[in-house]
Chain A
Amino acid sequence: MNTDVVVIGGGAAGMEAAGRIAQAGYSVSVLEKKSETGGNLVNWYQLFPDRKDSREVLGYLNNVVRNEKLKMLTSTSVKSVDRQKGVYRIKTSSGEIIDTEAIVVATGFDLFKSERKEEYGYGIYENVYSSADLEKMFRAAEVKLKNGTLPQKIGMVHCVGSRDEKSGNIYCSKLCCVTAVKQAIELREMLPASKVFCFYMDMRMGGAHYEELYLEAQEKHSVNFIRGKVSEVGEAHNGKLIVKVEDTLAGRPLRMELDMLVLMAGMEMSGGGKEISELLDLDTGDNRFFKSTDNHFGSNMSNSEGVFYAGTCIAPMSIPETISHARAAAVDVIQYLKSAK
């Protein structure tokens, strides 16, 4: 099969880039490993900062990819890639051979596996959850402890697997602070009798309307913010979780019992991205994400001719940033195809 462009990854970035390229009249095939499109977005309930239902964004993306020039190949991954005379020949897991002029890498991110941060007790204590687990509970409209009771005191641990040399990730995942604030508000709305505590190192509320959400969490929802990195979590006889943290603003250690702990897992280069970086010989950075040719004006460009990046495969990004970045990738691809002809 011949196509103008192959997009690897059918998440938000891949869908947006593919849709835009198809709209410009080029043929596109999207290869998605999983059986459904949407990537990490399908695991989320509401999105910050305006609490839009993720299904609305998925609806938008499904519309974007509805184009006769666009082929969506789900449950399909890349087996091998060769390049001859400027054409990439891709063999897929289903045995298909696709010849293409250009490739868009949109392999996204993986959420940090919270059990790697063993001292927080994920997978050990039954009421320690990850931010993604909590989204599932929100979607099911039921936040309960393992014993079926409602949590009264809930802690949110920021920077799990980010800004942490011990996890091998010194970068900031950028979106977990606002996720913590959003989830704290959702918890307070769902469980009005509960108390929610965010344990943070810095509150990084850099995006549009994030700081306003933080203020709302304090003022309207009485969410408590305690500055200090949780060093470890233990379990008391009564099943309560005990966090070890310094209240750095008081300059003293703090002892607190909690019913439930939510770990704000960071974003990492995806496993699929790693495979593609080897198959296509693409440069990656110290943070293991793909490395663009220039941080300022070439963030969609790779070290290989005809290969472009879209979305969180180069760095943590929010949904609006991902969509903008994917559109920019489409512009670069279209320009490349025009100049090649």
Chain B
Amino acid sequence: MNKFGYSVAQPRVIDYESNDRSLSEYLNALEPSFRRCIECGGCSATCTAAAYTSFSLRELHVLIRRGESRKIQSALKKCMLCGKCTLVCPRGVNTRNVITLARNFKVSLNNAV
């Protein structure tokens, strides 16, 4: 394919209807403060991992809510669980627990498979 310079363009649209949002529902239930996020970006601004990689906890929150699972897994690995984000969040989201739970959710999914 590359020889001819063709590639298949993936649709960029977030397809809310077919996306699996079970992780979002899981977090809403186990860490209700997850619902309070207003996507302000305070967490990403202070995040050590975000300073050196393309990781954004704020963006991760959106992706989880919309069920964009492809991108979630790789992002989750970048967090170092330092907890700085929890200190700055204006809405009192327990961000570290969100990440820990999200990582565990992945494990339980893998175990289920």
Interface residue ranges, A against B (CB under 8 Å): 203, 215, 218-219, 222, 224-225, 227, 247, 249-250, 252-257
Partner of A255, one of B14, B37, B39: B14
- A sample of 27 inter-chain contacts (CB < 8 A) reads A203-B38, A215-B91, A218-B37, A218-B38, A219-B32, A219-B33, A219-B36, A222-B28, A224-B65, A225-B38, A247-B14, A249-B59, A249-B62, A250-B14, A250-B66, A250-B68, A252-B12, A252-B13, A253-B12, A253-B14, A254-B13, A254-B14, A254-B16, A255-B13, A255-B15, A255-B17, A256-B16
Q: Which of A222, A227, A254, A255 has the most CB of B within 10 A?
A: A255
Q: How far is the CA of A227 from the CA of B14 in the complex (A)?
A: 14
Interchain CA distance A82-B72 in the complex, whole Å: 71
Give Cα distance in the complex from A256 to B13, angstroms: 10
Inter-chain pairs besides A249-B39, A250-B62, A254-B13, 5 sampled, C-beta below 8 Å: A218-B38, A219-B36, A250-B68, A253-B14, A255-B14
Contacts of A254 in B (CB 8 A): 13-14, 16, 66
Identify which of A203, A218, A257 contacts B17 (C-beta below 8 A): A257
Flag if B62 contacts A247 (CB, 8 Å): yes
**Residues of chain A contacted by B103 (CB below 8 angstroms):** none
Contact B36 A227 (CB under 8 A): no
Query: What are the residues of chain B within 8 A of A247 when measuring CB–CB?
Result: 14, 62, 66
> Does B84 sit at the interface, judged by CB under 8 A?
no
Shortest CB distance B107–A (Å): 25
Chain B residue at minimum C-beta to C-beta distance from A218: B35
**Chain A CB within 10 Å, residue with most, of B13, B36, B91:** B13
Can you list the 3 inter-chain pairs with the closest CB atoms, starting with the nearest?
A256-B16, A254-B14, A253-B13
The residues in B between 1 and 55 inclusive whose CB is less than 8 angstroms from any CB of A are 12-17, 28, 32-33, 35-39
Q: For B96, list chain A residues within 8 Å (CB).
A: none
Whether B68 contacts A249 by the Cβ 8 Å rule is: no
Checking A215, A219, A227, A252 against B39 with a beta-carbon cut-off of 8 angstroms, the contacting residue is A227
Find residues 54-79 in chain B having any chain A CB closer than 8 Å to their own CB. Answer: 58-59, 62-63, 65-66, 68
Q: When the two chains form the complex, which single residue of B13, B14, B35, B68 contacts A222, counting CB atoms closer than 8 Å?
A: B35
From A203, A249, A252, A256, B58 is in contact (CB under 8 Å) with: A249
**Interface of A: prevailing SS:** strand
CA distance A206 to B36 in the complex (A): 18
- CB pair A250 B91 closer than 8 Å: no
Q: What is the minimal beta-carbon distance from A185 to any residue of chain B, in angstroms?
A: 13
CB closest chain-A residue, reference B65 = A224
A222 CA / B35 CA spacing, docked (Å): 7
- Chain A residue numbers with a CB within 8 Å of B33 are 219
Whether A255 contacts B66 by the Cβ 8 Å rule is no
Nearest CB of A to B67, in Å: 11
> A256 to B66, alpha carbons, bound, how many Å?
11
A203–B39 CA distance with the chains assembled, in angstroms = 12
Residues of B within 8 A of A257 (CB): 16-17
A203, A219, A224, A250: which contacts B59 (Cβ < 8 A)?
A: A250
* B10 CB to nearest chain A CB (Å): 11
Q: In the bound complex, how far is the Cα of B81 from the Cα of A159, in angstroms?
A: 39
Q: Which of A222, A250, A256 has the most CB of B within 10 A?
A: A250
Q: Across the two chains, which residue of chain A brings its CB closest to B63?
A: A250
A223, chain B: closest CB distance, angstroms = 9
B13 partner residues in chain A, CB cutoff 8 A: 252-255
A218 touches B59 (CB 8 A): no
Residues of A within 8 A of B58 (CB): 249
Shortest beta-carbon distance, A95 to chain B, in Å?
A: 58
Known: A215-B91, A250-B68. A255 touches B16 (CB 8 A): yes
Most A-side CB within 10 Å, residue of B62, B68, B91? B62
Give A334 Cβ to nearest chain B Cβ, in Å: 45
How far, in Å, is B24 (CB) from chain A's closest CB? 10
Q: Which B residues are CB-close (under 8 A) to A218? A: 35-38
